[in-house]
Amino acid sequence: DSCIVPLYRGTVAVQCNSSSSGLSFDDTREKMATNFLGMKKSSSSGGLHAMEGDGFEYSLGPPESGFSMFLADRTKKVHFIRHAEGYHNVATKETGSNECLVPKPGEKAADLDLYDARLTAKGIAQAEALRAHLATRPSGSRSFTAFDLVVVSPLTRTCETALHVFGEPRSPGKPAFLDQVDAPVNSPEYAAGVKISPPRFLVREECRERWGHYCCDGRRPIREIAKEFPNFDFSEVIHDEDVFYSDERESDEHCCDRAVKFLEWLNSRPEKCIAVVTHSSFLRHLFGQFGESLHNDDRDHLQRLAGNCELRSIVLCSHGNKDGKQIDPLMPPPAAPSTIRMSS
């Protein structure tokens, strides 16, 4: 089933078209409520889950009408995809606990096998199943779903998921007309000899998992990851080493704040159909800030935990009052001021 509902948080409207979902085991890492609407506002599974329907011209109407309408040029379709099954998901399932993800005293998170965890064989199969679904999912005038841009968290499991779902990306800096490939096999476009351009894969730190405490949510140096994914565009990642990961879990407030800043960045992009390959806790902190005025069923539908390789599509609408705003790069939270005093 699906729903299209208006949701508001600050100055961004989100419309969601969503299907039901199961949970995967690393969803138990966070014990707080999914809904973050009561918090202080910030300053700014194995199955295949897919979205149907592409209409998205909506805007807010009279409350009694039951409808919304937005100018189409202020909207864009964003398809959020949670990474496929990783080895950390399997480990928490087998042990029945998240303790296997927490470094023991004296251990360094980066030395553990589950640090920046990779996909399992099952996870790769999930990603390939989603790719097959998108190849037959009508969108616009095509018999398949194509994307203008794929935005990827820098963690290894999201990079792997993106590669298996979308195939090789267009090389950074290469114009679309110089990188043409066949349309999906067995599609009418393929039979007609239609060529398409693969989307660019742009890596952004803002959509990475909530960091800290669990070793799976740290990332390797970019110099290592970039060698493994040579056509991904890492040019907007500022730090080679993971300056965000620490023994302490990123606060709910900070994760909520960067999630909304990520929406602001998405809104600034010229592309109209964007895929984002990200993580379950990040999505909970994002969607948990929307839906205050919704019917309970619709709000729960949006805010439920995402399963492995679940595709959840929303319509992002700008209200216009933050258009053109400078988007500052993500930086680590400031450290507490030093209490050490040096003699003069």
Give the CA distances from residue 222 to residues 110, 233, 238, 247, 312, in Å, rounded to whole numbers and listed in that order: 14, 11, 10, 20, 28
Q: Tokens standing for 183? A: 């349309």
Return the H-helix or E-strand segment holding 162: helix 156-166
Catalytic residues: 83, 209
Distance CA 76, CA 26 (A): 30
Count the alpha carbons within 13 Å of 228 in the hemisphere toward its beta carbon: 16
CB distance 72 to 57 below 8 Å: yes
Query: Per 3-state DSSP, what percentage of the chain is helix, strand, and coil (rounded to 5)?
Result: 30, 15, 55
Bridge partners of 78, per DSSP, are 274, 314
DSSP 262: H
- Residue of 28, 32, 31, 4 lying closest to 18 (CA atoms): 4
Bridge partners of 274, per DSSP, are 78, 149
Q: Which amino acid is at 248?
A: E
